[in-house]
């Protein structure tokens, strides 16, 4: 987290991504913003026209799988210094969604037709559209205040909604995972190694208990840091 800069002889100028890096990041953010906008459009259109959850995931699965997996590039962006975010925290946040997509929704069709899918799709789409639009415009210091406000305010509703949708989806998949022994390797086997996927899913669900308050608190601090100065200047 960046702290307020102080003038000193030892202070070093912050290294940015450079012009080529900015162009790449702008293109990446625009592409992701457009992709999640397309997913949101398809989701709402399907729900309005079909008036059913059945088949919704099939309608948006390819685009969601592609754009969510593409987000792994953001870990690379952190590692190579294009952005200043923590590579570890970025990876954790991305893996939690990839777990839901590739570990639950894709291999367990029964998890696709319940209300959790709508909750997570709408929350993911709105969060990503505002996030990528904010990052893209901020690269050139052209982010309007309204967009910044959306970026640091929508999460108050979208984050709990998305997390709830993810948990509901994983819980809905558990009976089918157990029934089929999905991704489970019991002993004895040649590797002398056992893995119980249902237990792993339960542990993932349980991990939301300590991690959700921490991440939500981190977002609240970011909101205060980014929006409070603008709010104060408007009141003066």
How far apart, in whole angstroms, are the C-alpha atoms of residue 220 and residue 1?
13
Is 24 designated active site?
no
Report which secondary-structure segment, H or E, holds 21. Answer: helix 18-50
Which residues are bridge partners to 42 per DSSP? none
Bridge partners (DSSP) of residue 195 are 185
Q: What is the dihedral of CA 47, 48, 50, 51, to 10 degrees?
A: 70
216: tokens are: 């939500």
Query: Active site residue: 166, 176, 197, 208, which one?
Result: 166
The SS3 of residue 195 is: strand
Q: Are 174 and 202 in contact (CB under 8 A)?
A: yes
166 included as an active-site residue: yes
Q: Which positions are catalytic?
A: 159, 166
């Amino acid at each position: 987290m960046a702290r307020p800069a102080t003038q000193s002889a030892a202070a070093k100028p912050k290294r940015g991504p450079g012009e080529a890096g900015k162009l790449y990041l702008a293109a990446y953010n625009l592409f992701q913003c457009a992709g999640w906008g397309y997913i949101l459009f398809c989701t709402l259109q399907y729900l309005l026209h079909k008036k059913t959850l059945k088949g919704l995931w099939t309608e948006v699965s390819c685009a969601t799988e592609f754009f969510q997996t593409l987000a792994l590039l953001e870990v690379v962006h952190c590692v190579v210094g294009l952005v200043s975010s923590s590579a570890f925290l970025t990876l954790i946040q991305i893996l939690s969604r990839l777990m839901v997509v590739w570990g639950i929704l894709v291999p367990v069709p029964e998890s696709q037709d319940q209300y959790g899918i709508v909750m997570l799709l709408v929350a993911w789409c709105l969060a990503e559209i505002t996030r990528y639009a904010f990052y893209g415009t901020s690269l050139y210091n052209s982010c309007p205040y309204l967009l910044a406000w959306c970026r640091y305010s929508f999460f108050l509703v979208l984050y709990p909604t998305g997390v709830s949708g993810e948990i509901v989806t994983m819980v809905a998949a558990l009976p089918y995972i157990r029934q089929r022994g999905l991704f489970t390797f019991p002993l004895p086997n040649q590797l002398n190694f056992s893995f119980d996927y249902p237990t792993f899913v339960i542990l993932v669900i349980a991990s939301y208990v300590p991690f959700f308050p921490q991440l939500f608190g981190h977002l609240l601090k970011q909101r205060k840091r980014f929006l409070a100065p603008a709010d104060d200047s408007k009141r003066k």
